[in-house]
Structure 1
Amino acid sequence: MRLLVRPEPYCDESLESYLLRLSQENGFESFRLFGGSVRDWLLQQDHEAAGAFPLDLFRVNVFHASRSSGLRIRALRLVEQLTDLAPSSLLQLALLHSGLHFGSGHKAVHRAGVDIPLCFIRTRSIPCCPACLNESAYVRQHWHYAPYHACHVHATELLYACPHCGSVLDYTRSESITHCLCGYDLRMAKPAPADRAVVQLAGLLCGERFESDNPLLANEQPTVRFGALLWYWLRHFHSQDDKPQDLRVAEAIGYFADWPANFHAELRQQVQSALLKQTRLLNHTAFSEVFGSVLGDCRQLPMRDIGTNFILRGLLDYLTSLVFDNPKRRVGNLADILLSAVETAAVLSTSVEQVYRLQQEGYLTPAYRLRRHDGLTAHEPIFHLRQVIEHRLAHGSRGQDAFHCYLPAW
């Protein structure tokens, strides 16, 4: 098999867009025909990799494959030989599985050195910018990101539906980058100007630099920006009926402009609400009963060091002040609520295994006596907040550490 036309990919192009252009410029009527020809050629090169190359464009990206993702990568490396591209050129366009997680177990994908929450990836209804298509007819990868709602280059709203027939746009299923299925040329559309905050958020996702005291804008790591936006959505908008594809978080920029005062005010409100509903002594109350899942949501976004994770730093500053404002007394107070081993590890910037060691060596004392044959469980509330915060302070704040080993391995 030989491809006579071998276009160069754009650095910000999606993998689906490049493979679609590759098939169309070589005269294939549909991607399925192109995929069938590629699969036949792959059978001659590597029969295992051939089965991992899908015939549907919307399934071609690596993150769609789970157990066969390694074979999908092998197939793409072989396809590169048909395009005369440099090694790993297609993989640089692909969304790969990431070993990192955001918050409480939110999976991530990886592209070009950036980790992105999987729930932020649009898999249906891929919008476009008509002005960008006029300049170069290819799909930008950032159009696939759910918080991206305006073109940061032209300051216009993205086009989600055809102005002529009203059909929802999705080039991975229509297999057309510049036209709707009804024949309308999307480059002729005149989108409305976008709000400044929406444009600023779009630029934030694309790595633009900002001189600002706003910690979201000031942080230059795109991965951290995605993590902060995910945390904001989970805390302020997420519900059972919400869909990440409908995500609009331009208000996040204004929210973080008043950081951490507004966050601390929310935490104080949570404390007041918990006190009104209190049914047991505070020194027998779990941390999650007062503050919910806030610690789990912000402990890894996806970094754990508080030098980078400014949200976790803001929470630890509040908890430290809470302990100072509630000194030890005969009757338990807010500083005596109970943390689980997982929550303790997050506060101490260490692992759960280290928390077990600290308990066994007597550095952390359980709030109640354990049964002889029962050990600590990861999610059982057992350590007083006061004790954990004091242990952290006694060993220095370690503001730049992503992980700290308090005790050596056995």
Structure 2
Amino acid sequence: MLDEYQRDEAILHLQRGLVLERAHRVDEAVEEYRRAIARDPHLREAHDALGLYYQRYGLYAKAAEEFRFVVKLEGGDFLAHFNLGYVLLEIGRHDESMQVFQHCLSLIPDDPATNYEVACLHYIRGSYIEALQHTQIALERYAEDWALYKLRGCCMLRLGNYDEAQIAFERARTWATRPQAQAEIGALLASVERHRECGEEPSFKDQLYASYGIVQLGSAQDDGIHLREVAEYHFTYPDIATTLRRMVGLAQAAAWGFSCVIGLDRLAAPVASALSAMLGLPMCGTEALCCNSRPLLVMAVGREQELLDIARERNGGCGASFCLGLNWLGRGSYHPDIIGVIARGACSVPWEPELRRLRSLGAPAEQVERCLASALDQIMAASADLDADPTLGAQISYYTDKHPNLRFL
């Protein structure tokens, strides 16, 4: 049992933590919260404060631990359950999150925030009708909430109700005040138009265009028209050359007018150099991201979205991004503008094993450069040996005549 002194001391640490956090002395505040819990492990307010700190700084798993403890302490407390449900949703534990939010609804059935979160979970599950029902409950209290209209529009879009989706997105744009929100709604309205273009039975290539406004080129293993996602893909030099030839043909026919080519990492250097030569554009380093109005950002194998996010942030989202082999479709919120092949599993380029070996040995920079230069030479040689692409005209027409509403344009 805790004595009175321990309880008082725990409350004192908690109060100090709250004061320090208001003064933006966060590290000291967190230490005080931990001291409070050490003195009184059942002090709900300290666990709550620590959980909110973890939540604000994106440490959702730790936040879930704290909020779960608060739920055990408080039993049926609404706010404790809501906080737990929210962080479980953020870390992708959707079934647990739904159970927790359903408990919240059993306490306050018309709570708008809970109905919104439940609607989001139904949307993730593909239960669009249920999601719409919960957004309607939330709208009864917050009829001017742009996020609710956005979610309704996304549900309508998935259901193929394009007119209703457009109405919902236009209402969202009316109430969205931040420029980022306005841009997001503008992109969704453009997606409605792209879905209308593609009709009722879209191919995989159509779906990429309609949903994201992006280009898929394929490789030597396809005709550039009938494309699909593959389990894994290991590029050969003819594969790469075919993809780059299609990229160059489309960029020139559509007059995309890039200002330069920038490789985002060393692995992408041969691809970026080949595109620079084929397009007749200057090759720039990443230091030029801030001073070029329309660069072409190049990745060889896209495994992590963060690399592209950093580049887009540095250049203000201008220009376009090209990725030879994309490896994160469905796992990220943003995708490159122009993609060669989409692979669910392993994806690689021919020079990657040697480059990895040289790096592991701490090889001199000159040796690494020779590896990359050799890869470039083989790409250009493979391009020179290629026969004419029989469907290139149809591939170009797909994006210049039939479906020109590309995101980066």
More helix by share: 2
User: Is TM-score (shorter-chain normalized) higher than 0.5?
Assistant: no
Could you tell me the TM-score, scaled by structure 2's length? 0.31
Could you tell me the TM-score, scaled by structure 1's length? 0.31
